[in-house]
């Protein structure tokens, strides 16, 4: 294929049988390819060296408090929605040593941590996950202080997006938020997986010149209009089949006016305050800093660790915590996610991936909570 | 006597009061001066006076055996002293001691009560101001109870 | 490619020059930089993250004179492991400093105004730099009234300095406590009541308040009943802080990150959140 024909926006056809070439091309450029894989009966994000590392022929059914892996009748590579993990673990490591500190006479000496930045290629990044990265970009890159770890990892990461084709998106609601199921921006390459009869191929859209450079080596051809159309239909079918929806009309005002809504008591009675939702959420960024000393007392270190606003300690101020009731902590999380986030970062903290619904042990569904508050809201006109 | 009316009229407690009523009050009023350390009233004494402070500073104290006097409040210019002059048993239950040279107009309570009983409009006006004074007292007392400067 | 930490996350060593006991559990530390440039520039109302070796870090407001940047001054109350470690530091020992962080008092934007400084308990510490600034630029302001309340005379910070300020003709100082023995010569009663005695012209007055939440709440109400508008009132808030630069999320208060949007807020901007519980 000529170099001039490979431009941003061009769509190509890659046969499923040639998919290994994509993995090899990424590996040959020094990328650690990370993607969905099965391990110990779970779907996680791990190293993908060969096509067989993907959950080929598996799907997942998700509902409130439930994630069930089941075999598919076909050999789809990406025949599921998102799993428990998100890419934030790679872009913003949940544990990191910020510095080490050594006693020196009456004082001490600080040794800043420095890491070789891993060069990741993320394979199969859904539209909601691209949206989550854009949200975390606001947090870690757009404020007065930039997070250097996030910045370095983010800049190096090669992103192979995946337009969602999962036909049973039980907890998803990206369509109602406008964050999916089609990847709009923020990828080097975007795939759509098409399965029809015996045919199994990917339509690959070029998102960046970096993506174009990579794909030049692959045994693909320009997709026919019919193939492009088939791919579009796959995504459109998902958009029309979302399991959930979230009405975001005046949502900030809704939350600000309903700080004392009785629904908070009801949800707090069910919420275990376990913090699972904050751990699986692809945008939750709250973290803590912890100091420790070794046994001799002459050397120590500061660790940065992902934290959760569901712990009582999170708001601890000398003498006690600000948010002592479970209700106040659930309210903090949801109000932050859907309302105060908008004031803080100019966007919502929710991308509609549905993880917090699936991985809540009691199946609390934020779309349901918002609906309940909206139906009996104070101060905001009902739709 | 005639110099007392403008002092009372300018005092926050009586501000805006009809001059007709001010005259009734002046009939019960006399000037007093307390040098530093002198008591305006003492625990258990009969409460016969209502003090309108127009100069100086007064400590309201409670005396505790072995620990001596503890000051609970200081008041001064623009304030009044005397909580209990219209309720039984008409006794002071705290000490009030001048901290600085203190000038007051003291109102004779019995005379004031007689006039209130004769003219209920006057009585209402006075009680309204007194109720406000009590409300402020309660508010600041509650604030003090709340451990204002703790955490 | 390696990722380097930004400077604001790395503590700079400072040497303890002097430790002064203020109250039974509160100490004032004079610090100077162990190496590098000797000046520490800050604006009144800002805070630092202080690091006690191996124990951890706490946000502490700066309580020294902004015109004397050679000496960094912090007043610290022993209320936990880290503050205890800091309070126990001796002359010559070292602690780590990150900062200064946060939005300061608006002292350079209120020329011509009467200024009420109202402090409760430890709240005088973050207001002292503001007062230093006002006094150094005394001619630019109208009346300056300091109203300071504490539980008892023993809980007052900076008693000698209060005495010195009291001797000035260009500053009125009202100190008040909740209760006192009879040798106490000053006021007894809450700060809100002292506002009655302060001299200020409500339309051209600005009030700077720092103290516990309940004290600030009552004080704001009292000032409004004296005719001040929320736009004329500034308060300094307190929250759990870990990073100090608006990234860790701990200090969230409604839509705000207290470490970077505060700690000083103009009251009209936060009034909807001020009285809400468990935010």
Q: What average pLDDT does chain A have?
A: 93
**ipTM for the complex shown:** 0.92
Higher pLDDT pick, B85 / A349: A349
Higher pLDDT pick, A30 / B140: A30
Q: Is A336 within 8 Å of chain C by CB?
A: yes
- B50-108: pLDDT as tens digits: 999 999 999 999 988 888 889 989 999 999 998 666 676 778 888 999 999 999 999 99
- A33-57: pLDDT as tens digits: 999 999 998 999 999 999 999 999 9
Q: Looking up tokens 């699986």, which residue turns up? A: A280
Q: What is the 3-state secondary structure (H, E, C) of C131-161?
A: HHHHHHCHHHCCCEEEEEEECCHHHCCCHHH
Q: Which chains share 3+ C-beta pairs under 8 angstroms with A?
A: B, C
A287: which chain C residues are within 8 Å (Cβ-Cβ)?
A: 242-243, 247-249
List of residues 6+ apart from A167 with CB closer than 8 A: A237, A238, A241
A1 has pLDDT over 70: no
- A133-155: pLDDT as tens digits: 999 999 999 988 899 999 999 99
pLDDT at C54: 86
A318: which chain B residues are within 8 Å (Cβ-Cβ)?
A: 151
B141 has pLDDT over 80: yes
SS3 B36: coil
B70: which chain C residues are within 8 Å (Cβ-Cβ)?
A: 179-182
Q: Is C57 within 8 Å of chain A by CB?
A: yes
- A286-328: pLDDT as tens digits: 999 999 999 988 999 999 999 999 999 999 998 889 999 999 9
SS3 C24: coil
pLDDT at B148: 83
Ordered by where they begin, the domains of chain B are: 4-109+117-142 (2.60.120.10)
- A209-230: pLDDT as tens digits: 999 999 988 888 999 999 999 9
What are residue A302's DSSP bridge partners? A99, A291
What are residue A252's DSSP bridge partners? none
pLDDT at C2: 57
Ordered by where they begin, the domains of chain C are: 7-101 (2.40.30.10), 107-236 (3.40.50.80)
- A55-77: pLDDT as tens digits: 999 999 999 999 999 999 999 99
CA C142 to CA C200: how far, in whole Å? 8
Percent of chain B with pLDDT over 90: 63
Q: Is C24 within 8 Å of chain A by CB?
A: no
Cβ pair A112:C10 closer than 8 A: yes
Residues of chain C with pLDDT under 50: none
- A107-126: pLDDT as tens digits: 899 999 888 899 999 999 99
CA C273 to CA A279: how far, in whole Å? 27
Q: Is A3 within 8 Å of chain C by CB?
A: no
- b/e B27-50 (16+ beta carbons within 10 angstroms → b): ebbeeeebeeeeebbeeeeebbbb
A383 has pLDDT over 50: no
B48 has pLDDT over 70: yes
CA C226 to CA A87: how far, in whole Å? 55
Higher pLDDT pick, A381 / C227: C227
C100's tokens: 């200064």
Instruction: Give the start-end residues of each E strand in C62-184.
Output: 72-77, 94-101, 114-120, 144-150, 172-177, 180-181
A2 has pLDDT over 60: no
Q: Looking up tokens 């505790």, which residue turns up? A: B64
Percent of chain A with pLDDT over 70: 98
């Amino acid at each position: 294929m000529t170099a001039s024909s490979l431009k941003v926006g061009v769509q190509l056809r890659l046969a499923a049988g040639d998919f290994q070439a994509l993995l090899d091309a990424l590996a040959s450029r020094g990328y650690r390819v990370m993607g969905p894989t099965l391990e110990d009966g779970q779907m996680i994000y791990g190293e993908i060296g060969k096509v067989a590392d993907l959950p080929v022929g598996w799907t997942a059914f998700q509902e409130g408090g439930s994630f069930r892996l089941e075999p598919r009748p076909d050999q789809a590579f990406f025949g599921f929605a998102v799993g428990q993990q998100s890419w934030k673990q790679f872009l913003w490591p949940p544990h990191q040593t910020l510095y080490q500190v050594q006693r020196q006479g009456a004082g001490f000496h600080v040794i800043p941590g420095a890491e070789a930045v891993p060069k990741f290629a993320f394979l199969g990044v859904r539209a909601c996950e691209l949206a989550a990265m854009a949200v975390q970009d606001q947090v870690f890159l757009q404020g007065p202080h930039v997070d250097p770890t996030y910045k370095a990892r983010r800049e190096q990461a090669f992103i192979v997006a995946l337009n969602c084709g999962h036909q049973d998106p039980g907890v998803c609601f990206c369509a109602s938020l406008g964050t999916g199921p089609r990847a709009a921006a923020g990828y080097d390459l975007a795939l759509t997986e098409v399965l029809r009869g015996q045919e199994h191929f990917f339509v690959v859209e070029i998102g960046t010149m970096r993506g174009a450079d990579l794909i030049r080596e692959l045994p693909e051809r320009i997709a026919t209009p019919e193939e492009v159309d088939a791919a579009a239909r796959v995504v459109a079918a998902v958009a029309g089949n979302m399991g959930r929806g979230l009405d975001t009309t005046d949502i900030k005002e809704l939350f600000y006016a309903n700080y004392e809504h009785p629904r908070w008591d009801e949800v707090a009675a069910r919420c275990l305050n376990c913090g699972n939702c904050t751990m699986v959420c692809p945008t939750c960024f709250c973290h803590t800093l912890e100091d420790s000393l070794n046994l001799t007392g002459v050397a120590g270190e500061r660790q940065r660790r992902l934290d959760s606003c569901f712990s009582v300690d999170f708001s601890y101020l000398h003498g006690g915590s600000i948010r002592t009731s479970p209700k106040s902590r659930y309210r903090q999380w949801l109000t932050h996610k859907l309302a105060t986030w908008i004031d803080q970062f100019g966007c919502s903290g929710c991308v509609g991936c549905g993880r917090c619904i699936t991985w809540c042990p009691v199946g609390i569904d934020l779309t349901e909570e918002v609906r309940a508050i909206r139906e009996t809201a104070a101060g905001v006109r009902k739709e | 006597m005639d110099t007392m009316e403008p002092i009372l009229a300018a005092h926050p407690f009586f501000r805006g009061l009809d001059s007709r009523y001010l005259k009734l009050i002046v009939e019960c009023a006399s000037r007093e001066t307390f040098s530093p350390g002198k008591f305006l009233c003492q625990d258990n004494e009969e409460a016969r006076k209502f003090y309108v402070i127009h100069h100086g500073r007064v400590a309201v104290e409670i005396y505790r055996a072995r620990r001596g006097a503890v000051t609970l409040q200081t008041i001064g210019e623009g304030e009044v002293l005397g909580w209990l002059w219209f309720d039984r048993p008409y006794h002071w239950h705290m000490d009030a001691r001048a901290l600085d040279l203190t000038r007051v107009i003291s109102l004779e309570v019995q005379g004031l009560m007689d006039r209130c009983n004769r003219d209920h409009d006057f009585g209402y006006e006075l009680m309204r101001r007194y109720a406000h004074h009590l409300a402020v007292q309660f508010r600041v007392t509650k604030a003090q109870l709340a451990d204002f400067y703790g955490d | 490619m390696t990722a380097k930490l930004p400077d604001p996350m790395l503590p700079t060593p400072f040497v303890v020059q002097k430790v002064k006991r203020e109250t039974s559990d509160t100490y004032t530390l004079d610090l100077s930089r162990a190496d590098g440039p000797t000046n520490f520039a800050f604006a009144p109302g800002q805070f630092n993250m202080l690091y006690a070796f191996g124990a951890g870090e706490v946000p502490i407001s700066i309580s020294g004179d902004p015109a004397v940047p050679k000496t960094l001054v912090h007043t610290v109350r022993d209320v936990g492991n880290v503050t205890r470690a800091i309070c126990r530091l001796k002359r010559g020992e070292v602690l780590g400093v990150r900062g200064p962080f946060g939005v300061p008092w608006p002292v350079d934007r209120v020329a011509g105004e009467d200024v009420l400084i109202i402090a409760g308990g430890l709240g005088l510490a973050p207001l002292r730099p503001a007062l230093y600034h006002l006094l150094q630029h005394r001619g630019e302001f109208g009346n300056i009234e300091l109203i300071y309340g504490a539980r008892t005379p023993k809980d007052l910070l900076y008693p000698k300095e209060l005495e010195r300020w009291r001797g000035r003709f260009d500053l009125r100082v009202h100190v008040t406590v909740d209760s006192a023995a009879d040798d106490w010569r000053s006021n007894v009663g809450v700060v809100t009541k002292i506002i009655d005695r302060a001299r200020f012209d409500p339309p051209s007055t600005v009030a700077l308040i720092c103290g516990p939440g309940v004290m600030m709440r009552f004080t704001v109400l009292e000032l409004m009943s004296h005719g001040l508008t929320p736009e004329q009132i500034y308060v300094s808030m307190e929250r759990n802080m870990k990073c100090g630069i608006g990234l860790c999320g701990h200090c969230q208060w409604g839509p705000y990150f207290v470490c970077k949007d505060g700690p000083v807020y103009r009251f009209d901007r936060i009034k909807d959140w001020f009285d809400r519980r468990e935010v």
